[in-house]
Amino acid sequence: MENIVLTGFMGTGKTAIGRELSNMLRWRLIDVDEEIVKTKKMSINEIFSRFGEPAFRDIETATIREIASQKHVIISTGGGAVLRRENMDILKQNGVIVNLSATPDTIITRTSGNNERPLLQVENPSQRIKELLEVRRSFYEKADIMIDTESKTPHQIAEEILESIGWKR
């Protein structure tokens, strides 16, 4: 295993847990969405509104392909990256896939007030979260490791991930 890949719906803690793993392992954290913003010089919202979700997903796949070839990195994917089998195949070549989960209520709490989530810019974000979770469930379940992030600190979750992959310090 060369990399740890964090997948999961928005608000499940990928960034916070990625930071914790990065500190513990002294590996670099690479957030796929942040890389896209940096290279395309526009926000995810702007990419969605100007070019649409399919174009964003193409950019996301190209970014994942570039990142996944690196070694000893923590990769935090966008919540929808799992929707393309190609993305998961690329990430599995050099990494263990860890899916982070939380209840819809927790996700709503964690994402409320964040206008940088294009898929939640709808009249009823709570209903949208439930719909998206249902559509993505089977994709998330293909991860090597499933971790529930409810009522745990990022440090506790990072420890659980390292224990699950058999990491020895």
Burial of 151 (0-12, 13-18, 19+ CB in 10 A): exposed
| CA trace torsion 145, 169, 73, 117 (10° rounding) | 50
Name the strands in the sheet holding 73-76, side by side, starting at the edge strand that comes first in the sequence.
28-31, 73-76, 3-8, 95-101, 145-148
3-164 belongs to CATH 3.40.50.300: yes
Q: What angle do CA 148, 149, 150 make, to 5 degrees?
A: 95
Q: What is the pTM of this model?
A: 0.90
> Average pLDDT in the 104-124 region?
70
Using CA atoms, how far apart are residues 112 and 129, in angstroms rounded to an integer?
Answer: 12
Contact 9, 153 (CB under 8 A): no
Instruction: Quick: pLDDT tens for 10-45.
Output: 889 999 999 999 999 999 999 999 999 999 999 988
Q: Count CB atoms within 10 A of the CB of residue 145.
A: 14
Higher-scoring residue by pLDDT: 140, 123: 140
Using CA atoms, how far apart are residues 160 and 153, in angstroms rounded to an integer?
Answer: 11
**pLDDT value for 134:** 93
Using CA atoms, how far apart are residues 34 and 42, in angstroms rounded to an integer?
Answer: 10
When pLDDT is cut at 50, 70 and 90, the band that residue 126 belongs to is: confident
> Average pLDDT in the 120-127 region?
71
Q: Count CB atoms within 10 A of the CB of residue 36.
A: 21
> Average pLDDT in the 134-153 region?
94
**pLDDT value for 113:** 65
Instruction: Quick: pLDDT tens for 86-99.
Output: 999 999 999 999 99
Q: Indicate whether 117 pLDDT > 60.
A: no
The DSSP string of 87-115 is HHHHHHHSEEEEEEE--HHHHHHHHTT-T
Distance between start and end Cα atoms, the chain: 15
When pLDDT is cut at 50, 70 and 90, the band that residue 129 belongs to is: confident
Using CA atoms, how far apart are residues 8 and 133, in angstroms rounded to an integer?
Answer: 9
